[in-house]
A and B are shown apart, each in its own frame.
Chain A
Amino acid sequence: METRVLELRRNVLNKNDELARNLRARFQQAELLVLNLVSSPGTGKTEFLKKTLTALREHGLRVAALVGDLETDNDAHRLMESGAPVRQITTHGCCHLDAGMIERHLEGWALEDLDILFIENVGNLVCPSNYDLGEAVRVALLSVTEGEDKPLKYPGIFNSADVAVITKMDIAEACEFDREVAEANIHEVRPGMTIFAVSAKRGVGMEEWLAFLLELQSPQSRYVMAIADAGRRAVIS
């Protein structure tokens, strides 16, 4: 018996990466801006997204959402209150969304009839960072109740994100939350990242966030998406 070595040099998640590349090509073809929202459970992604969808619809934009949870379709029902088309992805125990789930749940939607698609990931700050969903922009959310050092504890996901949003700012004082420290920690693991601080419930900071989305969605900003696509999402081998 003799041995030999096969040089594979292949990404472990190559199947997901390939599906994500196909999705990204479809999104670009349809001129559809896609954002992937990641955070811990309980950060307030659903409330933040519901207010975002409602406001964007008032601006005349055609928006939709896919929402991932281990069980129940409670979040989809909450998001539907915005009037936007919403589909629930129930993962039955799987701790993240993958590109295959996105592809299956987009079936029947005419992507060219949409302007912005939001994907609300399963609440988890570890596993979703490995799975490219074909998004142009990854948004990492952090609530004031979680502590300022969350980005230092979970550097992988914050480093993989393009934008950070600090949520529940209306209760920041009660939580003795230090915004400056939190922002410094975010920048420690992802220098230069754009950060928004909001209270979706009270509407605080939402205008800046919406202005950012409108700017991203405009045709002249498409190059920003292209840069994000090429750089952040690529798994370097």
Chain B
Amino acid sequence: MHELSIIYSVVSTVTKAVADQGGGQVISVRLRVGALAGVERDSLLFGYDLATQGTPLAGSVLEIEDVPVRIYCSSCACEQTLVGVQSFRCPVCGRPSGDFRSGRELAIESVEIETPQSEQAPC
């Protein structure tokens, strides 16, 4: 159920950022969601249509980029991507690693907006 409150945070942050940039209709919002972020893709998408009504985000598309868990393996001396989230072991040598590098992201990466030409900033 906290997906909806997460979506409301997205709407509030994006609305403010777009207003700060002179306004415009939002076409798409890109989120980065880590495999360990604890949020469910379908619930985010479901909540998005509901929460964006009556805002500059209404009718926009929510794009979700899945971020896998990456750990640093000291034996292999490099970062490795985990296939799942049930085992924090290097997929190459099998050694456990608590050196967690990514996978808990829950971030707004970018927003695509449609701007009336008269309001466009010079390049």
Contact = CB atoms under 8 A, between A and B. Distances in A.
Interface of A: 1-15, 94-96, 126-127, 129-130, 152, 155-157, 159-160, 187-193, 235-237
Contact of A12 (B18, B100, B103, B108): B108
Nearest to B29: A8
A155 B2 contact: no
Nearest to A155: B85
Given A127-B38, A159-B36, A237-B105, A188 B87 contact: yes
B107 A156 contact: no
Contacts of B87: 188-189
Interface of B: 1-2, 5-6, 9-10, 13-14, 17-18, 21, 27, 31-32, 34, 36-39, 85-89, 96-98, 100-117, 120
Contact of B88 (A5, A95, A188): A188
Contacts of B39: 130
Given A3-B27, A6-B113, A152 B86 contact: yes
Contacts of A160: 36, 104
Contacts of A152: 86
Listed residue (A8, A94, A187, A192) with the most chain B CB atoms within 10 angstroms of its CB:
A8
Given A6-B18, A189-B88, A1 B117 contact: yes
Given A12-B108, A155-B36, A187-B96, A1 B2 contact: no
A6 B97 CA distance: 36
Listed residue (A10, A95, A188) with the most chain B CB atoms within 10 angstroms of its CB:
A10
Listed residue (A15, A95, A156) with the most chain B CB atoms within 10 angstroms of its CB:
A156
Nearest to A187: B96
B17 A6 contact: yes
Contacts, number: 129
Contacts of B34: 236
B100 to A, nearest CB: 7
B117 to A, nearest CB: 6
B114 A2 contact: yes
Given A8-B13, A235-B104, A159 B113 contact: no
Contact of B107 (A6, A9, A157): A9
B9 A15 contact: yes
Given A8-B110, A9-B109, A191 B6 contact: no
Those 5 A-B pairs whose CB atoms lie nearest each other, nearest first: A191-B96, A191-B98, A127-B2, A156-B36, A156-B38
Nearest to B3: A127
A155 B113 CA distance: 36
